[in-house]
Amino acid sequence: TPGLPANLVSSTVRLASSMRSYGIATSAISERIYSDLQGAMRTGDAQRRDTLRMLRSALHNQEIELRRELSDEEVQDVVERQVKQRRKAVEMFRQGGRVELADQEEAEIRILIDYLPAQLTAEELQEIVTAKVAELGLHGPRDMGKLMPELLTATAGRADRKLLSALAKEELQRQATVT
């Protein structure tokens, strides 16, 4: 590969080869997770190490279920599910007065988010929602079922689904009052 030092290229090839021989997924995200896990073990970062081990376990379980290696999109879905689980846990711990456990879960979320694409802002999402409603000619809340699949495709994992749904509902309500 032009521009990369030979030792970096060869170590990356060796890493991918050894990962395949142990049955570890070799999508780009999976390789990055594996590499970051090794780095965390070397530096003694227990929080990052433990979080990435849990993530690798979830990825491995998904591969076993599907009986094949995961694509980058599937790896991203698993990471999103892990983030969602931890957000629910944070909420439950806060309700139960377990602030220290909620803080630990939030730290894990910050680590996991590094493996997701950059999230769109509320303003960017609003623009996408408004454009899709106009493009599809939707007129009210009954059209939510037509709008959401289009929005999920357009945002491709770069948006919080709760926020996206709320913005879509709000826009469809606005359209219902205009017509």
Task: Single out the residue of 10, 12, 56, 58 nearest to residue 34, CA to CA.
Answer: 56
Determine how many CB atoms are found less than 10 A away from the CB of residue 86: 22
pLDDT at 9: 44
Burial 40-63 (b: 16+ CB within 10 A, else e): beeeebeebbebbeebbebbbebb
CA angle 22, 11, 27 (to 5 degrees): 50
Give me the residues of the chain with pLDDT under 50, please. 1-2, 4, 9-10, 12-13, 25
- Residue 151 tokens read as 């929005």
Q: What is the pLDDT of residue 179?
A: 65
CB atoms within 10 A of CB 113: 14
C-alpha span between 62 and 33 (Å, rounded): 15
Query: What pLDDT score was predicted for residue 161?
Result: 85
- pLDDT of 178 reads 78
Residue 177's pLDDT is what? 86
pLDDT for res 5: 54
Q: Where does the chain have alpha helices with state H?
A: 6-21, 28-43, 46-66, 72-95, 99-113, 122-136, 144-155, 161-178
pLDDT given at position 158: 87
Q: Determine the pLDDT at residue 176.
A: 85
Residue 81: its pLDDT value, please?
Answer: 94
- Residue 72, SS3 per DSSP: helix
Q: Using an 8 Å Cβ cutoff, are 118 and 126 in contact?
A: no
